[in-house]
């Protein structure tokens, strides 16, 4: 699965990013549903999946 935009990684902990997923001939893509704050629940309505984002300390870079 590929994200359509760069996603900033948290330094210490993995996160679950709400996304809308779709498939095309090039593969499966994930589009962010927007701001991921816990108070922003309306973007959950437009999502159909979660992108598991590792902590930057685990992968050695700060964008995914």
The pTM score is 0.71
Residues sharing a CB contact under 8 Å with residue 16, sequence separation 6 or more, in sequence order? 50, 51, 52, 53
6 token code pair: 């760069």
C-alpha torsion angle, residues 23, 18, 63, 37 (rounded to 10): 160
The residues spanned by each domain of the chain are: 2-59
pLDDT per residue as tens digits for the range 31-43: 888 888 777 788 7
- 22: pLDDT strictly greater than 80: yes
Residue 26 — pLDDT band, cuts 50, 70, 90?
A: confident
Report the distance separating Cα 28 and Cα 50, nearest Å.
13
Closest CA to 20 of 10, 32, 28: 32
């Amino acid at each position: 699965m590929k994200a359509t935009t760069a996603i900033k990684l948290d330094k210490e902990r993995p996160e679950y990013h709400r996304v809308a997923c779709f498939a095309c001939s090039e593969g499966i893509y994930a589009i962010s549903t927007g701001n991921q704050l816990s108070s922003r629940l309306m973007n959950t309505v437009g999502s159909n999946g979660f992108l598991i984002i590792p902590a930057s300390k685990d992968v050695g870079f700060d964008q995914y």
